[in-house]
Structure 1
Amino acid sequence: MELDDAISNRTSVRYFEERNVPEGQVRALIAAAVRAPTASGLENWKFVIFESENARERLYNLIAEGMIRYYRAVNLPDEKIEKLKKRMYESGMYRAPVYVAVFIDRRVRFLKGREFDELEFVWSVESAAMAIQNLMLKAVELGLGTVYIGVTNFPGIEGEVRELAGLDGNHYLVGVIPVGYPREETRPRRRRKSIDEVLRFV
């Protein structure tokens, strides 16, 4: 598969088949992820794979909790929230055979001194985000679907995901990526803005 094809065909997949993803393919995703640029060459990322039934169920419930908090934060009416909850629990939206949680270790840094805390944090998150993109593009090549979950970063939920991953408070969750075989044919969505609307030459 050409890189252009992987980029063009990548789309957010929210419904997955129940079949397992082979460990070799999971390792291939992480192998692609760690080829991403990493600020100061620190590689201070950690990829935690949730694949046991118990871990996946607990994480799924945390995702659901995060989605509900997100919908409430944007003032969605209660009746719509109930419909979305039904879609999650009855239709299995975001229920995947594998979840990849991507963390950074905030202790691993290049610049010392509190004045650089925010900058080092931003660089680490950017590095992890580029790793996630590599992972997602590799998934397209392997016939897998992915979607980025950020609602697990709500206060309280992020700590529970970290605890479930067996990591201490020095680690920060950048995102959770459900991974699996798409339940339906994927159709990449057109972008709302044209290239000219987001591009500037100086």
Structure 2
Amino acid sequence: MKLDDAIFGRASVRYFEEEDVPDEHVRALIEAAVRAPTASGLENWKFVVFRSKDAREKLYSLIAEGMIRYYRAVNLAEEKIEKLRKRMYERGMYRAPVYVAVFIDRRVRFLPGEDFDELEFIWSVESAAMAIQNLMLKAVELGLGTVYIGVTNFPGIEEEVRELAGLDENHYLVGIIPVGYPRMEVKPRRRRKALDDVLVFI
């Protein structure tokens, strides 16, 4: 597969088959992830794979709670939120055979002193985000679907995900990536903005 095929063929997948993802595929995803650039060469990321049924169910309930809080935050009508809840619990939206939670360890840093706390944090999140993109592109090559979940960062929810992952408060959750075989045909959407709307030459 050419790189262009992975980049332009990738799309967010929200419905997955129940079929298991082989261990070698999961390892291949993480191997691709850790080839991403990392600020100061720190590699201060942690990838926690949720595969057991019990762990996945607990994580799924936290994702659902985050989705509801997200839509309430933007004042979505309660009847629409109820439809979302049905899509999740009756149709299995975001229910996947594998979840990869991506964390950074905020203790691992290069620049000393509080003056650089925010900058070090931003660099670490950027590093993890690039790793996530590598993971998602590798998934396309392997015939897998992924989607980025950020709503688990709401206060209270993130702490529960971290506890479920067995990590301490020094770890920050960058995102959760459901992984599985797409239940439906993957159809990448066109971007709302044209290239010339976001590109500037100086």
Q: TM-score range by the shorter chain?
A: over 0.9
Deviations 1:84-108 (A, max 9, x none): 1001000000000000000000000
Q: What is residue 34 of structure 1 aligned with on the other side?
A: 34
Q: Which amino acid aligns with 1:189?
A: R
Q: What is residue 167 of structure 1 aligned with on the other side?
A: 167
Q: What is residue 20 of structure 1 aligned with on the other side?
A: 20
Q: What is residue 190 of structure 2 aligned with on the other side?
A: 190
**Aligned mates of 1:185, 1:168 — CA distance in 2:** 39
**Aligned mates of 1:61, 1:9 — CA distance in 2:** 30
- How many angstroms does 1:150 deviate by? 0.2
Q: Secondary structure at the match of 1:169?
A: coil
- How many angstroms does 1:78 deviate by? 0.5
**Aligned mates of 1:159, 1:201 — CA distance in 2:** 43
- How many angstroms does 1:185 deviate by? 0.6
Q: What is residue 46 of structure 1 aligned with on the other side?
A: 46
**Aligned mates of 2:26, 2:79 — CA distance in 1:** 38
Q: What is residue 59 of structure 2 aligned with on the other side?
A: 59
TM-score between the two structures when normalised by the length of structure 2 = 1.00
Q: Secondary structure at the match of 1:200?
A: coil
Which blocks of at least 5 consecutive residues in structure 2 are unaligned?
none
Task: Give % identity.
Answer: 83
TM-score between the two structures when normalised by the length of structure 1 = 1.00
**Aligned mates of 1:160, 1:167 — CA distance in 2:** 10
**Aligned mates of 1:113, 1:15 — CA distance in 2:** 45
Q: Which amino acid aligns with 2:121?
A: F
The answer as to 2:71 corresponding to 1:71 is yes
- How many angstroms does 1:135 deviate by? 0.1
The answer as to 2:86 corresponding to 1:86 is yes
- How many angstroms does 1:58 deviate by? 0.2
Aligned pair count reads: 202
**Aligned mates of 1:84, 1:33 — CA distance in 2:** 31
Q: Secondary structure at the match of 1:163?
A: helix
Q: Which amino acid aligns with 1:135?
A: L
Deviations 1:32-77 (A, max 9, x none): 0000000000000000000000000000000000000000000000
- How many angstroms does 1:149 deviate by? 0.1
Tell me how large the CA RMSD over aligned residues is.
0.3
Q: What is residue 128 of structure 1 aligned with on the other side?
A: 128
Q: What is residue 97 of structure 1 aligned with on the other side?
A: 97
- How many angstroms does 1:31 deviate by? 0.2
